[in-house]
Structure 1
């Protein structure tokens, strides 16, 4: 029986019913639907809207239904229109008239809204914990590799020497911003829409603050129209997830490059790699590639939600049923990617010698050579030009700045002396970059410890 069947004289066409139904994806909110119903029934009893004993009876039976769903005793009927219909139908079948009183002063519109919020609040906490775990792994790896010199890149060209620890902590910064976004979203999500009714509230003497408190919300929504039609929290969470997935995708791209023989900066553990069906030598970074690919799903989910909401008048419209599949997929995608990604990074083997070898090529200490001349009193633009000429000479003569003899340096400028070789030492180049945010090993260690302390993460 449909909750809205009284107005209609014919059964809904079966194919239309299948199209209209949401049970296939909203059944995951069974726990939240029952939690919301228990809070609603408790409040109705306390306010005298229904008999207090009936309220207790309803709540007790709802708890039994939840326990049976969770232990598999009660199977959710996939022919039901949605999870709300199923739970109410099951309750009514068991309690008769008492079960029919549950929906007093409530609409499916505010019921759906509270279910989705309750579910996503829990998912936010799960994702928050996973991202914190990833940051902890990055900080641990950064401390282990605080002095490992590698080339930093711009335009995918070797640019300046940095440390591997510094590179990892750049991602730790990104993921900290992801945490902050999730926290902000949770705050704005923390208003309970129950009691908004279909759109105009109700004439029953409800205590909406009581319901909000019972469900762990900070308060109740202030406008009944907005209470049932707001899906900002879905769009905002989807945006948070899309940005986090972009961060994971960028990181994945670098891991894929680093695993290649052309770089060979890292090697992934066998447990997080796959082979080829035809080429026995292959060790493929499939996890990183999948994460990179799945970022497109999260971006698509955000686009779906934004597009679905952009033309909707107030209040509820059936279009809004589309919110669940999109936001559930976004949540599932990030959760699944982090589940595989965190241990992949944790078990990743770093190859410092290969990083140092790559850093020795590409003239990534050229800026330090120019800075050396500036330290001798030469204007930076003149020092830049001379260093560029030196690099051109090295390329033509298959040398590096380290192998050019001092007498040759002096043909470019008399300001050069033996100190130039200390100035362009890769280790010195890195160690000297102690400015806040720089890649000096002592900075890396301090930054990693600061992040861990801030998040309360133990390694």
Structure 2
């Protein structure tokens, strides 16, 4: 059968060109969205009197039959028919005859494919929002169980100050909260309908684009037909949000890899999220967080790829824009799979509370509290900072920690020290002293947890 657009051509398409330009290998994932858009379009055509309602019902029945076949896996897509639109239109013609050709009245593949992607991305974004919530819930589960668990806090990957493990986990909760809010906000741009813009200039038929938008649940229609068919901002925005989210996924994955190492032993990942070695039987490898960390690069690449495709394109549609789909589809799949793995992996990990505490008890991360102690005695902070630096150096030289020094040794650096300095230096006191809003004290962390729970419910 000749191409549906082949009337103007005198030669068959070169086989290599056919394979190179075909998109059906990946845009078949938009099949159900393509049918959904066509259902609304033909309904609008009938209501506007552009085609008879009898034809509308016949076309809708045909589309429904094709939809069921696709869902049941009974459809074989063809490279010769190029893309998902032509594949479905050909199936429709075979199903109901020439009347199927009326479906394409008042539209082009340009506004059709844009509509498909809007529909697809809207559905996927809503699902991703729920998956982000599941990750947040897993973080909350662990946070609630570790409100009293003290661990070293780090800067530059060096011991800095003691913090609660719950506080550390909640930092990721808020990262994912912003990701979730970005996804929710992006729905405003996704919910613009391009259908009815035609190839680039609109159509001569008296269509009702607002009615189509209503049928498909879109909030508004593109007011400019050129913009409607050439806009891929909504995909760029999604890829950008996905890249930021994968950054957060990668960061917590990195910590899980470090924390589960023999050197740290802060946590142990459940066996179901680890693998072994083919040669070293003792190994338990954190393959899942490593791969989550690694997959971040491909999502970044998809964003840069589409930015590069679009940067020099004149209006309106160009074949270059066929390159918009694979990166989007791949990113959706990657992000979806990553979130589905991350949530249960966090929730099922074992936290070694004693190991975390022993790490805090054998470092100098309580040094700042000595400086704060001297400040409460009236000493300027900068002078206190210098004194504590000397005390830390003295302790290191004598192979002691700050709690190991005697009161006489402290007084040799400043007469302001009293016996209560040893209470101030206890890890639990260090943590509880940081009771400012957003701080790591158990009171503040419990308030954070309550706020976090309201965030999950509110969305």
The two structures have a TM-score, normalised by structure 2, of: 0.98
Flag as ranges the 4+ runs of structure 1 deviating above 2 A.
72-80
Partner of 1:151: 152
Aligned pairs (5 A) from 1:154-233: 154-233=155-234
1:160-189 CA distance string (max 9 Å, x none): 110100000000111011001111211111
> Following the alignment from structure 1 to structure 2, what is the Cα–Cα distance between the partners of residues 107 and 212?
17
Aligned pairs (5 A) from 1:14-25: 14-25=15-26
CA contact (8 A) 1:136 1:457 kept: no
Partner of 2:267: 266
> Alignment partner of 2:284: what SS?
coil
Structure 1 stretches of 5 or more lacking a match?
none
> Following the alignment from structure 1 to structure 2, what is the Cα–Cα distance between the partners of residues 253 and 242?
16
Root mean square deviation of aligned Cα: 1.1
- Aligned: 1:92 with 2:88: no
Partner of 2:423: 422
> Following the alignment from structure 1 to structure 2, what is the Cα–Cα distance between the partners of residues 332 and 72?
20
CA contact (8 A) 1:2 1:81 kept: no
1:54-91 CA distance string (max 9 Å, x none): 11111111111101111123333344211100111111
Q: CA deviation at 1:446?
A: 1.5
> Following the alignment from structure 2 to structure 1, what is the Cα–Cα distance between the partners of residues 12 and 273?
52
CA contact (8 A) 2:242 2:331 kept: yes
CA contact (8 A) 1:132 1:457 kept: no
Q: CA deviation at 1:340?
A: 1.4
> Following the alignment from structure 1 to structure 2, what is the Cα–Cα distance between the partners of residues 233 and 347?
36
CA contact (8 A) 1:69 1:76 kept: no
1:126-178 CA distance string (max 9 Å, x none): 11111110001101111110111111001110001101000000001110110
> Alignment partner of 1:402: what SS?
helix
> Following the alignment from structure 1 to structure 2, what is the Cα–Cα distance between the partners of residues 53 and 452?
53
> Following the alignment from structure 1 to structure 2, what is the Cα–Cα distance between the partners of residues 118 and 340?
26
Q: How many residues align?
A: 458
Q: CA deviation at 1:452?
A: 1.4
Aligned pairs (5 A) from 1:360-371: 360-371=361-372
Partner of 1:315: 316
- Aligned: 1:349 with 2:350: yes
The two structures have a TM-score, normalised by structure 1, of: 0.98
> Following the alignment from structure 1 to structure 2, what is the Cα–Cα distance between the partners of residues 264 and 44?
65
1:255-275 CA distance string (max 9 Å, x none): 111011111100001000111
> Alignment partner of 1:313: what SS?
coil
Q: CA deviation at 1:362?
A: 2.4
> Following the alignment from structure 2 to structure 1, what is the Cα–Cα distance between the partners of residues 252 and 439?
20
Partner of 1:336: 337
> Following the alignment from structure 1 to structure 2, what is the Cα–Cα distance between the partners of residues 90 and 249?
44
CA contact (8 A) 2:267 2:352 kept: yes
CA contact (8 A) 1:146 1:442 kept: no
- Aligned: 1:30 with 2:31: yes
CA contact (8 A) 2:18 2:79 kept: no
1:359-416 CA distance string (max 9 Å, x none): 1122000000100000011000111011111100100111111111111111110100
Partner of 1:289: 290
> Alignment partner of 1:448: what SS?
helix
Structure 2 stretches of 5 or more lacking a match?
none
Partner of 1:106: 107
> Following the alignment from structure 1 to structure 2, what is the Cα–Cα distance between the partners of residues 421 and 337?
46
Q: CA deviation at 1:2?
A: 2.1
> Alignment partner of 1:10: what SS?
coil
CA contact (8 A) 2:275 2:285 kept: yes
> Following the alignment from structure 2 to structure 1, what is the Cα–Cα distance between the partners of residues 354 and 396?
23
Q: CA deviation at 1:457?
A: 8.2
Moved more, 166-175 or 91-100: 91-100
> Following the alignment from structure 2 to structure 1, what is the Cα–Cα distance between the partners of residues 167 and 236?
33
> Alignment partner of 1:416: what SS?
coil
> Alignment partner of 2:197: what SS?
coil
Partner of 2:74: 73
